[in-house]
Chain A
């Protein structure tokens, strides 16, 4: 009898405690990210879609050395190099990439290509929305990769927001 009474009291206290915890969360701001409406915050070192860079004077950084293709663990990069001529100059060196394809369906976003690149021509930036309606569109050509790419639905996460995110759910 005494034990049962004790159970009743402790049980009621536990239930009250549980209700208190849930009520505390009721008054908190939701952590949901309204993705298509609000931009997504990505970390500065997040590896997303590749972009081919240019020098400030407009010449391509890529010299067609194909070190990226050699470093690629999934063989998703195809580079064909051609000679620069004085009439048609694409890059500062002797050669340039006349074809530069990346198959995004194979790419694992390891970033080895960017590490291997001697001129820092290929860089993994932050775009993650890579869905296509056609499989062949997933093979990115040089023209697409050379476009400066800064989609509106992505913002870089600042340090303050990073610290805030650390405390989610704690206080």
Chain B
């Protein structure tokens, strides 16, 4: 095998590992940050006993998760039951693969074993980026459905059924909302979407200004996809104990938990990239490191709004949830796409 290719593959594997562990670390941090932010919203401090300002709470929670007894109930379908948390987590991690975090690749100034090392700010710059995100995002539904089904428990089953119905329905307006973005940009490649936003008005023609309705629809559907409040019907603790996760404990529950939060983080990355200009910001094109900072700021803001929504809006009833999706969001997104197409046709033909 060509040595350059081998080195490139090794570098890529290291980056993938780093991103995956980074996302897991972000999940740990986010659980604590969310509790602290929720606490502030309700005039409490949130966790502040373990370590300075409760920073070591992550460690405490992680240790608790790992050292809990692994109970597998007798009545479950063992193989599927054990597989489901992983099936939920992996697609959430996978979607992070196509997000560009900076403007250009970094070529290291020295050579290793005679080959140059190039660090790309994306893991895969595939030309069907958005399609890939939609496809992988809906795969995450399987984990929840399988978990609910294999638990052989009525609460779990109801939770799993609700998830499948909810996530499949919200997939549609989400896709159509992205379609109106695609009509403007003309490419599904994530780097093209960012470069399009960079090329007008000095890098401030973010797609949220062109497509505010698509942004709102995508945001709402994203909340539903990640199972966040007010669309956390899969695990409504008041009526379904814990929904699909009722029979899970210890680290297996931890994986479901991680899947939800990583889904939320990756979704914030996608929203920031597609609608908020990704790494764009003052001097981001000259200094790529600044781009990462800008992207992280945007992601943090979106995550904050998700927590804000959770604390503000009560859970939606299930039939209203479906009605809202099929009778309001879907027609609205289609109308939005149609109007976009019409305007583009008038402008460019």
Contact = CB atoms under 8 A, between A and B. Distances in A.
Interface of A: 8, 15, 18-19, 21-23, 25-26, 28-32, 34, 169
A30 B45 contact: yes
A23 B308 contact: yes
B313 A15 contact: yes
A18 B313 contact: yes
Interface in B17-43: 37, 39-43
Contact of A30 (B43, B312, B328): B43
A4 B164 CA distance: 28
A30 B44 contact: yes
Contact of A18 (B37, B40, B44, B312): B312
Contact of B45 (A23, A25, A32): A32
B40 A30 contact: yes
Contacts of A23: 308
B25 to A, nearest CB: 25
Nearest to B37: A26
B213 to A, nearest CB: 12
Interface string B305-335: 0001101110000000000000010000000
Interface of B: 37, 39-45, 308-309, 311-313, 328
A161 to B, nearest CB: 17
A19 B309 contact: yes
7 contacts: A18-B313, A19-B308, A19-B309, A22-B41, A26-B37, A29-B43, A31-B43
A19 B44 CA distance: 18
Contacts of A26: 37, 40-41, 308
B38 to A, nearest CB: 10
A120 B281 CA distance: 75
Contacts of B41: 22, 25-26
Question: Which has the most chain B C-beta neighbours within 10 Å: A29, A30, A31?
Answer: A30
Q: Majority SS of interface residues in chain A?
A: helix
Contacts of B37: 26
A22 B313 CA distance: 10
A22 B312 contact: yes
B147 to A, nearest CB: 31
B325 to A, nearest CB: 14
Contact of B44 (A8, A15, A21, A32): A32
A37 to B, nearest CB: 10
Closest 6 CB pairs of A and B: A22-B312, A18-B312, A19-B312, A30-B43, A30-B45, A31-B43
Given A15-B313, A18-B313, A25 B308 contact: no
A23 B313 CA distance: 12
Of B39, B308, B309, B312, which is in contact with the most chain A CB atoms at under 10 Å from its CB? B312
Contacts of A31: 43-44
A46 B31 CA distance: 40
A23 B312 CA distance: 9
Nearest to B39: A30
A107 B263 CA distance: 55
A21 B311 CA distance: 11
Contacts of A169: 43
Interface centre among B41, B308, B313, B328 (most CB of A within 10 A): B41
Contacts of A30: 39-40, 43-45
B265 to A, nearest CB: 21
A28 B308 contact: no
Contacts of B44: 30-32
Nearest to A16: B312
